Amino acid sequence: MAPELPDAIMRTEGLHKSFQRNHVLKGIDLEFKRAATTVVMGPSGCGKSVMLKHLIGLLKPDAGKVWFDQDRIDQVPEAQLGPYRRRIGFLFQQGALFDSMSVGANVAFPLREHSEMSESERSERVETMLEMVGMPGTQDRNPATLSGGQRKRVALARAIVLQPEIVLYDEPTTGLDPIRSDIIGELISRLQEALQLTSIVVTHDVQLSFRIADRMVLLQEGRIHMQGSPETFRTTEDPSVRRFLEGRATPEELAGLQPVEGEEPTA
């Protein structure tokens, strides 16, 4: 009988990271459940993207541990991270498509690098992935001809083309209008359900977070301020959480604004 898999497929323990004098992560303990969507929110500069890069080994912690199943990947040398990374899809903030390649070649790129599929097998997989993200028949198009939302969808097709267990999303709706953001949110939910993916989404998009999350985490100044179900966040009276969810600056933050020319300074 096969051993039972742990509930968390990835986790961090006491994660610390500094860049010169800037202490970005200050002891992050997080678990990411299998086949569930965890959303990590927080204001700009709170450490969300830095945390995400530790999960794929793009950064090494100054202190703490990063686990993938039973393996500590923070201790794995860069040259040996390939087998772990092939189990992870990454949707970059700006999509990071190659404009010198067609849409089909962009999506097929991970297959060429990390699989032994034939040309016909790659073509079939690419077609399937593009259909899954609502971009059928676009293989021959140039990324430069696509809208921002379409580029994100192609990048998402590329992120899942190796059929990973985990997909990491770095600000997936940045630069998109509300309708295109809603489409991306719907795609994340559908793919998670259809493929039983573990989705880890870093964002400051509150509407997206409530739409897709099974569990939510709020980072503030490099620490976990709050975590729990969407309902926990929806009903909390924590003033700091409420300010973030409602998009309200503190009086201290507003007081730091310089008067506009011709405007009377506030007392």
How does pLDDT run across 169-178, given as a tens digit for each residue?
999 998 889 9
Q: Which two tokens stand for residue 218?
A: 């709020």
User: Measuring CA to CA, how many Å separate 232 from each of 229, 238, 239?
Assistant: 5, 11, 14
Q: How far is CA 150 from the centre of its chain?
A: 18
Could you give the CA distance from residue 201 to residue 89 in angstroms, rounded to a whole number? Answer: 12
Q: Which two tokens stand for residue 146?
A: 């696509």
Kindly state the average pLDDT of the residues 220-227. 94
Q: Is residue 96 predicted with pLDDT exceeding 90?
A: no
| Residues contacting 59, CB < 8 A, separation 6+ | 17, 50, 53
pLDDT, position 230? 96
User: Where residue 265 falls among pLDDT bands split at 50, 70, 90?
Assistant: low
Q: Is residue 196 predicted with pLDDT exceeding 60?
A: yes
Task: Judge whether 30 and 209 are in contact, CB under 8 Å.
Answer: no
Task: Judge whether 66 and 74 are in contact, CB under 8 Å.
Answer: yes
pLDDT, position 203? 92
> Tokens 């073509």, residue?
123
pLDDT, position 112? 87
pLDDT, position 263? 58
Kindly state the average pLDDT of the residues 185-190. 92
Could you give the CA distance from residue 162 to residue 76 in angstroms, rounded to a whole number? Answer: 22
Helices 178-195, 148-160: crossing angle, 10 deg rounding:
10
**Residue type at 165 in one-letter notation:** E
Per-domain boundaries in the chain: 93-163
Could you give the CA distance from residue 152 to residue 97 in angstroms, rounded to a whole number? Answer: 9
Handedness of CA 14, 42, 8, 68 (dihedral sign): negative
Looking at the DSSP bridge assignments, the partners of residue 30 are: 12
Q: Is residue 148 predicted with pLDDT exceeding 50?
A: yes
Kindly state the average pLDDT of the residues 257-265. 64
Looking at the DSSP bridge assignments, the partners of residue 68 are: 10, 71
Neighbouring C-beta atoms of residue 258, cutoff 10 Å: 7
User: Where residue 92 falls among pLDDT bands split at 50, 70, 90?
Assistant: confident
* Average pLDDT of the residues of the chain: 89
User: Where residue 266 falls among pLDDT bands split at 50, 70, 90?
Assistant: low
Q: Is residue 3 predicted with pLDDT exceeding 50?
A: no
Could you give the CA distance from residue 91 to residue 199 in angstroms, rounded to a whole number? Answer: 11
Q: Can you tell me whether residue 33 is helix, strand or coil?
A: strand
Could you give the CA distance from residue 179 to residue 154 in angstroms, rounded to a whole number? Answer: 17
Q: Is residue 260 predicted with pLDDT exceeding 70?
A: no
Neighbouring C-beta atoms of residue 254, cutoff 10 Å: 10
Task: Judge whether 175 and 203 are in contact, CB under 8 Å.
Answer: no
